A = this chain, B = another copy of it.
Amino acid sequence: MKVLNCPEEMRAWSDAQRGRHKTIGFVPTMGALHAGHLSLAEAAVRENDTAVASIFVNPTQFAPHEDFNRYPRPFEADMAKLEGVGVEAVYAPSPAGMYPEEYSTYVIVEQVSEGLCGGSRPHFFRGVATVVTKLFNAVKPHRAYFGQKDAQQCAVIKRMARDLDMGIEIVEMPIVREPDGLAMSSRNVYLTEEDRKRALCLSRSLFEAEARLRDGEHDADSIVRGVRDGMAGVEIDYVALVDAETMRPVREITGPILLAVAAQLPTARLIDNIKFDPKGTNA
């Protein structure tokens, strides 16, 4: 497996693949890989001639009080996992290489980045949109894979790729869960045994809401109230029922929606969500 450490090296590798008319699938990650990430990598390998993953803990999407410094960085284990599923190249740039002196350029996505995680983490999506643009420019993929776990991030990246004419297909893959329902997250390792048990109220409340949605409930307030009640044991950051594409609040459920939650547990901030389309299958 090839490791590329700067944009020039990465671009040379990708240009060589494109010169041989190979399609490139790309999975951007912050490392600390779990089964969710690997499902993205497997799809990238399966659906393209070659696959690249990036490992970069991006400082600009963390606020000063957040967990940038203690974010897990098990680089060797991550490399072995990526190699195991058939990824051919890993892009692992340095923070100093990504953000040189006098760094000044940011990509902002208005509207769809407002509310939800954008409300609680004001600089988050600016950091994400900017670093993903930089990664895309170095990797030059045909398709890029993101997890529905970060549903608002998927919406932001899709909008950005469309608006900026990036010519990259954004593929959103389903959430991968632990057997008891907890959504996989690199931050789950922070959880104490007690918080790990408490955390289950997120997915459990979402599944209950999903059952009610399937039964025909179309009043958003009622759904949100139900989820809030189910999460009474944790500090809720938000419970939001929004249009699945625009992230705008919905009152009456008539089209595809995202029901998303965030909670601040003593040992970690967790997010989870479901999507639902009253006219079709639960996407």
Contacts and interface: CB of A to CB of B under 8 A. Distances in A.
Given A138-B165, A165-B134, A160 B105 contact: yes
A265 interface: no
A69 interface: no
Contact of A137 (B21, B104, B129, B166): B166
Interface residues of A, number: 33
Given A18-B18, A19-B21, A21-B19, A137 B105 contact: no
A21 B21 CA distance: 12
A166 B133 CA distance: 9
Q: Which of A130, A159, A166, A167 has the most CB of B within 10 A?
A: A167
Contact of A104 (B102, B106, B133, B163): B163
Interface in A112-148: 112, 129-130, 133-134, 137-138
Contact of A105 (B8, B21, B164): B164
A110 B104 CA distance: 5
27 contacts: A8-B167, A11-B165, A18-B18, A18-B19, A19-B19, A19-B21, A100-B162, A100-B163, A102-B159, A102-B246, A103-B163, A104-B159, A105-B107, A105-B129, A105-B159, A106-B107, A107-B107, A107-B108, A108-B108, A130-B164, A133-B164, A134-B163, A134-B164, A134-B165, A137-B166, A137-B167, A138-B167
